[in-house]
Amino acid sequence: MSIDRRSGCPINLSLEVFGDRWSLIILRDMIFGGKRHFRELLNGSIEGIASNILADRLKRLMELGMLTKADDPSHKQKAIYSLTEMAITLVPILAHLGAWGRIWLPVSEELSIRAELLEKGGPPMWEKFMDELRHEHLGMPSGTPPDATVRATLQAGYEAVVARKATGAGCDPGA
């Protein structure tokens, strides 16, 4: 793939990869949501990506070496997308980006709890999560039991906030 690069600056080059509206959202949904099929990515994102945009971004992420695509052995008409090492190593960057967003932007509690947990877990949690992603996407060995994964911890945090908000626990009665 030939990309017209404006300069050799690492920040510029990174923005040329992630500077569009959707690439990091797709990677986020694959990393944190475990989504690996086109339909899961299309229907599972609250931001609502159009199918033609999703197809274009998946193709671009594959050309850039961030994703691979293979036939899904469980369904002949489906493809399964996998993160490459290049994409997996974005976990610390996404953790920092989420931490920054929590400080400076009007985030919702339920959608920011994962970022908070990642921030508190720090590099040891990020490393464990990347090892789990390497197992899931690259087939590397992992010693983490399926119910003790970082993704399960983050999901449990999300579900706890949603449940608490649904029951009204912790709400200010005077509001």
Does 64 fall in a domain? yes
pLDDT of residue 16: 83
Residue 71 near residue 24, CB atoms below 8 Å: no
3-26 b/e (C-beta count within 10 Å ≥ 16 → b): eeeeeeeeeeeeebbbeeebbbbb
Residue where a domain stops, chosen among 84, 114, 138: 84
Query: Using the 8-state DSSP alphabet, how is residue 65 labeled?
Result: T
- Burial (CB < 10 A; 0-12, 13-18, 19+), residue 98, is buried
Q: 77 with 94, same domain? A: no
Give residue 27's pLDDT: 96
Same domain membership, residue 124 and residue 77: no
Same domain for 102 and 152?
yes
- Domain span at 17: 1-84
Which of 50, 67, 84 is the last residue before a domain boundary?
A: 84
Is residue 154 one of the residues assigned to a domain? yes
What pLDDT is stored for residue 174 in this prediction? 46
Neighbours of 138 (CB within 10 A): 13
d(CA 71, CA 75): 8
User: Is 129 found in the same domain as 70?
Assistant: no
End residue of a domain, out of 84, 107, 138 = 84
Residue 68 domain-assigned? yes
* Whether residues 70 and 15 fall in one domain: yes
CA 9/CA 5 separation, integer angstroms: 10
Residue 31 lies in a domain: yes
* Number of domains the chain contains: 2
In order along its 175 residues, the chain shows pLDDT tens digits of 556 777 888 888 888 888 888 999 999 999 999 999 999 999 988 899 999 999 999 999 999 999 999 998 888 889 999 999 999 999 999 999 999 999 999 999 999 999 999 999 999 999 999 999 999 999 998 777 767 899 999 999 999 999 999 998 655 544 4
Same domain, yes or no: 79 and 94: no
Residues 118 and 151 in one domain: yes
Looking at residue 78, which CATH number applies to its domain? 1.10.10.10
